[in-house]
Structure 1
Amino acid sequence: MTVITTPSPLNTVYEQDYLMWLEMTSEQLRTGKLENLDIENLLEEIESMARKEKVALESNLEVLLMHLLKYQYQVNKRTSSWRYTIDEHRSRILKALKVSPSLKPYLKQVFDDCYQEGRRKAAIETGLNISTFPMRSPLSQEETLNPDFLPE
């Protein structure tokens, strides 16, 4: 037996006017009118938000590690711009961890993969052979996130 479902009015709103859907969903949650919630799309949006937090953390960590490697291995090319980028991406990561402490285990989980990506990007940006950079991160997670640390 095939079950045919018709889209709810909110589901249609979601597809036609995302902002309106957000406002309507927010109002329904605020007022406790849960019976007409577009649960399917609400769950999708919540899951998407979680994924975006993780992707942002990874992206910032990769850029941070890339610049720390550049800073360490291209001493004669160090610039204040590199220091700014290091500081900026550390700050973004630390803010994300402060707002969402549950990201800390995820950071530990992806650190090595992010290092490999940062290593690859550092090789591309510097023109140095990737073998210049160690296979395993020479920096601990604590050093990487320490606002006062720069590799020498």
Structure 2
Amino acid sequence: MTNIQSITTAIASLYEQDFYMWLQTNINFLKEGRFAEIDIENLLEELESMGRSEKNALTSNLRVLLMHLLKYKYQPEKRTNSWLYTIREHRKRLRETFKTSPSLYRFFEDIFNESYQDARELAADETGLSIKIFPPESPFTVEEVLNPDFLPPENDRSENIE
């Protein structure tokens, strides 16, 4: 086994034993131009995982935001500062995501309707209201959802009951 192969094998086993040290070692190899010694297989797996994590976080933040906007609109008598905080916090998280990863905005648009359906179910579960109270299509536009000044007006619930 060559010296580079034994270093690469040792780095790969470090991945299982001490992730942070593995990461720092690979960073140093990159900085020093020692590309043959980098644990490519595990590095690729971690990079792919980072992309999935970013998408999962975006989806989760959108779902929570939409759910709270629905609660705010359809349960005006139960509005709390906690709901306002959650709305503001998840909008900030989305803005930060788009600031650091603008290419995820297209993904956001792609998952908006599906996330709304999830939020609709979650809002029904959390409020105890019939899912029929919440319209099948989002009453909020993408722009409204991201607008830091937008809050939905109170809704006449009877308009959605079948």
Q: Give the % identical residues.
A: 54
Q: Which string of whole-angstrom CA distances, capped at 9 and with x for unpartnered residues, describes residues 10-65 of structure 1?
A: 11111111111001001001111101111000000000001000000000000000
| Number of residue equivalences | 147
- Which letter maps to 2:118? E
Could you tell me which residue of structure 2 aligns to residue 3 of structure 1? Answer: none
1:10 pairs with 2:37? no
Report deviation, 1:72: 0.2
Normalising to structure 1: TM-score of the pair? 0.94
Q: Secondary structure at the match of 1:148?
A: coil
Could you tell me which residue of structure 1 aligns to residue 133 of structure 2? Answer: 132
Report deviation, 1:131: 1.0
Please show how residues 2-151 of structure 1 align to structure 2 within 5 Å. 8-151=9-152
Normalising to structure 2: TM-score of the pair? 0.88
Q: State the 4+ residue runs in structure 1 displaced beyond 3 angstroms.
A: none
Q: Secondary structure at the match of 2:58?
A: helix
- Which letter maps to 1:129? S
Query: 2-side partners of 1:95 and 1:16: how far apart?
Result: 33
- Which letter maps to 1:43? L
Q: Which string of whole-angstrom CA distances, capped at 9 and with x for unpartnered residues, describes residues 71-107 of structure 1?
A: 0000111111101100000000011001100100000
Q: CA RMSD in A?
A: 1.1
Contiguous gaps of at least 5 residues in structure 2: 1-5, 154-162
- Which letter maps to 1:91? K
Which structure is higher in helix share?
A: 2
Query: 2-side partners of 1:15 and 1:79: how far apart?
Result: 46
- Which letter maps to 1:59? S
Could you tell me which residue of structure 1 aligns to residue 3 of structure 2? Answer: none
- Which letter maps to 1:18? F
- Which letter maps to 2:134? F
